Structure 1
Amino acid sequence: MGIVMTTGGNMTEFNTEVKADISSEFEIPQADEAGRIGASMPYLRYDSKDAEIGNGAKIEESVKSERTKIASQASQQSYVSLPVKNSYAEWTAVKSGSGVTMRFTMPDSTDGKGLTGSLDVYVNGEFCQKVDLTSYYMWQYFAGGNPSDKNNGGVPCFAFDEVHFILNKTLNPGDKIRVQNSGRDNLIYGVDFVEIEEVPQTIAQPANSLNVVDYGAKPNDGKDDYNAIRNCISAANIQGKDVYFPEGTFNIGRKWTFYGKNIKVTGAGMWYTNIQFTNSNANSGGIAFAGENSCYNVEFCNMYINSNLSSRYNEQASYKCFSDVPGNGSVIHDIWEDHFECGFWLGDYSGTVDYSDGMKIINCRIRNNLADGVNFCQGTSNSVVYNCSIRNNGDDGLACWNNNYLSAKDETGNVFAYNTIDFIWRAGGIAIYGGDGFNIYNNYICDTFMASGIHLNTTFDGYKFNNTKNIKFENNTLVRCGTYKDSWGSSLAAIDISQNVKNVSFVNTKIYDAWHDGIALKDNVQGIKFENTVIYGSGTAGQKVSGNVGAAIKTSGSPKAQIDNISITNSAYNHNDKPYLFTGSYNGISILNELLYNNLAYEVPGYPEVSDVTKDEETIKPGDNETTPGNDNRNDTGTSSNSETVSNQNDETKKKITKNKPGKVKIKSVKKTKGKMKITLKKLRGVYRYQIKVSTSKKFVGKNTLTKNLKGTKAVFKKINVAKKYYVKARAYKIVEKKRLYGRWSGVVSK
């Protein structure tokens, strides 16, 4: 046995049997240019733009991402407003499921403490249940660089929050789900989207584990369970056993300092087990790992964790969901965390510095935090964030900060891979402040507000980029990122690199509809390389900053960078037919193999599609290559160019394909106006994937042929020449046996 002195003088014994690193059981796939982009999650998003609305409901939009319009913080900058009694938004389910996540907005109170209210949910026209809502966690106001909890006249941020719930009945394909304002609260609500998924069965208590209930914890009784939980953990450490939290809500009224070695702590599933931190004061909640000498090889999983924090306390909240040092070989997976200062802040700030090396964060939902989603700090190395949803955080989504406080070592070897990052409302989607040997790949970043998609700088203390030999970004897609004015009053590019950053490479990077500049290279950055880059759309907000409305590439200071093989269109800034704004010394900028298009039509990749994974407790299999919109390598026969055709499948697969083949779709309307073409299809029952082709050629060939793959029945094609005649056709498709199965083409419509 080993013994450690805990806070308050208590001694905890450990079973010191040595076990293999838990993290080694969780493999992480390598970068894959042909693989999926973003996280593979079990839910399907139903966006406001695809909703049927009525009884006074209306679509609110912010096409220029205006700072004063809260629609700028919504998906694709639009949401459904439900301003009056009985106003509603309704969607038709295309997959079965009973788990619903709803992203909503509602007003703040005058004292900044929020209001309570509710919306009603109907299924197929019948009342299903009332969903309670609160704006307690929402609304931060930026009159300057830092937020205020009360309205100070500044830019309102954190305008949307989420609630998730299990329906009283399971939705089947074709069922209609309606969200409706009952009018009982006299409040104006808004809904950005709903996400629907199948809820798995509860996870049973594992063998060789202790149940917290047996040590006095009682779910759903409203009383504090901390002592019972602590006693159960201590007993498990002594006996060499794991710990189980059954279904229900367990309350903790203080910060939980976690001691444990070679231990698994699991709930019954993120839809069933809830840990609720009840204290709203600074430094009074969250899970703080005790450090490498008394905490390592920990597996923490399968639960939802929420807090009662609603203030960042002048950036002194010290209230993270997970913090300090979980230790070498630890894994945190299938955790849904909500409403903390930060989701994960891993680093040691006291005594002799301990480190986490080789720890992994996998399959987590990291959402609605006042600051960072994940920050690897203070020497955290060789650690991974993989297949996570990082959403609506008030500072960096994913960050590495190689601070040297207490002489902590520099950071090396960290990985951010296959994550989806959206709705970041300050700083950046991914931020790197120094270190070496990092790999950041196959991430999807979208819809930032007053934030870049990716940023690198040397603002903060630490080793910065002094020891950097190579940091590599690969196969990342950025959609609607950057800003013409952040909370400090500065513009940020979709990829923003400044100060003394050096030795960073970007390979296969795609930037779509950047709000301001696509790429900004500033100050004294050097050794920056871009290879195979697409910038389709920059300056889409249309806002001038120092005369610049948004360039594909902007430089200032004396940067040194090499850019090879770049394709650009739709840049708001052009000078002598070049979409580059060079200020300061630009002799260090080399641009090779450029393709510049004046009016190239392009498709913006949609939100990553639903995966085949339907159980929250499952780990994504390495190399899962779910196809995403905009990354289609398949031909019109519905087969991959390097795969077998349908005729070579076995009999069982043939039957499944024949049974599931979608019908022929009809084009409902085609409208051409102001350089855009809006197309609406007639929905097929049980189908939610469609493909539309638009061309100036009757045979749909040539450079003026465009293709969109979409979820839903509405599409908009940009950069359309209204003087020309276009031909339109469409078809539906499903994914069967991980292959696309297309229905017949519709009739051709000309416009």
Structure 2
Amino acid sequence: MSTPTQPLAAAFAVVLGLSTLLAAGPAGAAPASPTKVTRAALDPALVAGRGADLGFTEQEAENAVTDGTVVGPGTDAYTLPAEASGRSAVTLKPGQYVQFTLPAATNAITVRYSIPDAPNGGGITAPLDVAVNGHDHHTMTLTSQYAWLYNEYPFSNDPNAGPLNPDWWTTECSCVPDQTTPEPVFPTPFRANHFYDEERLALGRTYRAGDVIRLTAPLGTTAAATTIDLMDSQLVAAPKVDLKAVNVLLFGADPTGRRDSADAIDRAIAFAHLVHLPVYIPPGTFQVSRHIIVDDVTIEGAGNWYTIIKGHQVTLSAPAPDGSVHTGVGFYGKDASAGGSHNVHLSGFAIEGDVRERIDTDQVNGIGGALSDSSIEGLYIQHTKVGIWLDGPMSHLTIADNQIADQIADGINFHTGVTNSAVRNNFVRNTGDDGLAMWSDKTADSNDVFDHNTVQTPVLANGIALYGGTDLTVSDNLVADPIREGSALQIGSRFGAVPFGGTITVADNTTVRAGTFELNWKIGLGAIWIYALEHSIDANIQVTGDDFLDNTYNAIMMVSDFPVKDLYSITNVHFSNIKVDGTGTSVVSARAAGGATFQNVVARNVGAVGVNNCGSFHFTPAGSEFALTDLGGNTGGGTTGPWLASWELPNTITCDDRPAVVPPPAPSVWP
């Protein structure tokens, strides 16, 4: 057995080695003009003050130098352009490259990419050559093992699979058999989606602005095509060292990842309770393939580029009481039914899971359970089912400064009675469901805030969604490129959620390239859509100061599903100080009974008549069942005239169920 000094010496060796790896002195070629820097594929001036700032810089491949092929722009679901940031990417054949010129000092990069699936599913791996200034070479190993889902919900990894649920009505498809057709015509592979993944690389030294990074699909690659979406670059700080904390190496944790470290981390936590100190996980890769239960403890890593908690998904011998059939790496508070956990503080490490299929009963999330009076800060979470899924009742949790990428389902979900909690300055990309959600299932979430977060490319559902709840705030967020069956922002009465109450505030957010095509309804959605499916929506909803940019269809939608349109209405909604820059169709689409007020809503580049007011589709002599109230200052429009024309008020029927789409020009700075 090692003496206590030996693990500490190993820890310092790892710290010093990785510190040198990421933070060595500058070198490189003469400065050159940087590849265009963007945020959500936009000029940063258009989103100033909105979204998260985690210290990295985004450069889109379509703006870089390449001998490959630019794909897109395009918004059709189940295509590579639609799932790309900015709706465009670059596809490389073997031997081709895409080249970025750095805008600032950099020692680490993240590449978002897509490579093909294996012919029978399960993914492949392929190399990507990374050269800096033409001579410093690295090799990234790309994988599609966590990508490529098929079929109907909850999806399959098998491109050859038939109907997952033969008795279900299959959405988005004319392949459902009628009573006289015994078998459906079910093409395979059916509805391939969730194409992209990302890989991080420490460059081994610090390069300066003007240095050139070339990504090349080598001639010997196993990938017939390598699609590069973007590259993020950053200057990662030196690792954090805490000599006063309880170091997990002293309890047998293995920083090489060869042996499982779960029991060692448990022992370190138990000792930390006795001595009232935090737990420190130093640089290294620590294998953990089950939940680490946390309560009244602080666990800190050296930084999420240095301390990696990585695990395999493990099949349970029998289903757990909660329905799980697998377990995997995750940090979990105690269940709310057992009182939950309190005073838990997690920071400075990465959680890398091994989830490749969506099984909704599985508890294979990066963070789970109930965590009150707690904080989650500075984590990088990838390849889990949901990055952070909290089951209340619980209160006073802060989630800040995290990156969550490549999830099978949600990024962050406040589920059931989460109160007085905040999600701030988090970056969420490539989720398989809502990026950020508050779901008031049976018990209301209340007094919660989603503030200054960035959500990009949710493949399914919405960027930010509120499902019931009381006194909730969504502010200063940036949401870009939702892909299907959802949009940027939703306020929805659905999924068994309790009704909305109090004041729901949606303030100072920016959405871009939202307003997707709803593949089941066959209509375009709004960048923000308010959806009355299970209850009327009559809480005080204040939508103010938001910018809706480059809307594929509508900017604003109020809708009730057709079977319940005469049961539920939408009222007490107030829009003010809104900018709409570009709509494929209208500014407002009303497909429900009720009404809303509008004040200082300015619009330009509107593709169709400003208001598409169908009400609840009864087309009464008195007009639409949805009333628009003009409180003044509503200006601008498009080729058809002012977006809110006097003749449309208060409830003129202007119903064009599926208006022609006029793609808007790229957004620009408002004069």
Query: Which interval holds the TM-score relative to the shorter structure?
Result: 0.7 to 0.9
Alpha-carbon distance change, 502 to 110 in structure 1, aligned in 2, over 3 angstroms: farther
- Does 2:260 match 1:224? yes
2:570 counterpart residue number:
525
Partner-residue secondary structure (3-state), 1:112: coil
Amino acid at match of 2:130: V
Q: CA deviation at 1:118?
A: 1.1
- Residue 283 (1) aligns with residue 296 (2): no
3-state SS of 1:237 partner: helix
Equivalent residues of 1:280, 1:310 under 8 A apart: no
**RMSD across aligned C-alpha pairs, in angstroms?**
2.5
Q: Deviations over 1:466-499 (max 9, x none)?
A: xx02111110111001211347766432111111
Do residues 82 (structure 1) and 92 (structure 2) align?
yes
| Correspondent of 1:309 among 336, 355, 373 | 355
**Residue of structure 1 in register with 2:179 after alignment:** none
Work out which of the residue numbers 384, 409, 416 in structure 2 matches 1:340: 384
The aligned amino acid for 2:471 is G
- Does 2:241 correspond to 1:195? no
Q: 1:586 and 1:252, CA in 2 relative to 1: closer, same or farther beyond 3 A?
A: same
Contact 2:461-2:482 within 8 A present in 1 as well: no
Alpha-carbon separation, structure 2, partners of 1:75 and 1:501: 33
- Is it true that 1:39 corresponds to 2:52 in the alignment? yes
CA distance in 2, matches of 1:511, 1:455: 13
The partner residue of 2:526 within 493, 496, 511 is 493
What is the CA distance between 1:345 and its match in structure 2? 1.0
Residue 280 (structure 1) shift: 4.8
Pick from 149, 157, 168 the counterpart of residue 149 of structure 1: 157
Which residue matches 2:509?
Answer: 476
Normalising by structure 1, report the TM-score. Answer: 0.69
Deviation string, structure 1 residues 580-622 (Cα, Å, up to 9, x no partner): 343433443223432133269xxxxxxxxxxxxxxxxxxxxxx
SS at match of 1:227: helix
Q: Residues 294 and 331 of structure 2 are in contact (CA less than 8 Å); yes or no, is this contact kept in structure 1? A: no
Matched to 2:254, the amino acid is K
Supply the distance in 2 between the matched residues of 1:595 and 1:565 (Cα, whole angstroms). Answer: 7
Task: Give the CA deviation at 1:145.
Answer: 4.8
Do 1:268 and 1:302's aligned partners in 2 also have CA atoms closer than 8 Å?
Answer: yes
Partner of 1:380: 418
C-alpha change, 1:175 and 1:708, in structure 2 (3 Å) is farther
Aligned to 1:132: 141
**Contact 1:486–1:492 at 8 Å: present in 2 too?**
no
Match of residue 612 from structure 2: 580
SS at match of 1:37: coil
The aligned counterpart of 2:21 is none
Aligned letter for 1:300? L
Report 1:728-743 matches (<5 A). Answer: none
Supply the distance in 1 between the matched residues of 2:365 and 2:118 (Cα, whole angstroms): 25
Deviation at 1:222, TM superposition (A): 1.6
The runs of 5 or more residues in structure 1 that have no matched partner are 1-32, 349-354, 540-549, 601-673, 679-705, 710-716, 718-751
Correspondence list, 1:399-414, <5 A: 399-404=437-442, 409-414=443-448
Structure 2 runs not aligned, ≥5 long: 1-45, 160-187, 316-324, 561-568, 617-623, 641-661
Check whether the contact 2:550–2:665 (CA below 8 A) recurs between aligned residues: no
Q: Pick closer, same or farther for the CA change 1:570–1:155 going to 2, 3 Å.
A: farther
| 1:676 positional shift | 11
* 1:347-358 matches, cutoff 5 A: 347-348=391-392, 355-358=393-396
Contact 1:529–1:562 under 8 Å retained in 2: yes
Displacement of 1:393 in angstroms is 0.6
| Alignment correspondent of 1:396 | 434
SS in 2 for 1:155: coil
Which residue matches 1:566? 601
Q: For the residues of structure 2 that align with 1:455 and 1:480, how far apart are their CA atoms?
A: 15
Aligned to 1:365: 403
| Amino acid of the structure 2 residue aligned with 1:311 | E
Percent identical residues: 25
The offset of 1:677, in angstroms, is 10
Aligned to 1:514: 551
- 1:229-244 equivalence runs, <5 A: 229-244=265-280
SS at match of 1:421: strand
**2:70 matched to 1:62?**
no
The equivalences for 1:338-737 within 5 A come to 338-348=382-392, 355-404=393-442, 409-450=443-484, 451-465=486-500, 468-486=501-519, 491-499=524-532, 500-503=536-539, 504-523=541-560, 524-539=569-584, 550-574=585-609, 578-584=610-616, 585-593=624-632, 594-598=634-638
- TM-superposition CA deviations, 1:5-60 (whole Å, max 9, x none): xxxxxxxxxxxxxxxxxxxxxxxxxxxx9971111121111111221112xx1111
C-alpha distance in 1, partners of 2:467/2:51? 22
Deviation at 1:675, TM superposition (A): 12
User: Using the alignment, how far apart are the partners of 1:325 and 1:71 within structure 2?
Assistant: 38
* Counterpart amino acid of residue 361 in structure 2: Q
| Correspondent of 1:49 among 59, 62, 66 | 62
Counterparts of 1:251 and 1:552 in 2: how far apart (Å)? 51
| 2:445 maps to amino acid | E
Deviation at 1:311, TM superposition (A): 0.5
- Kindly tell me the number of residue pairs found equivalent between the two proteins: 543
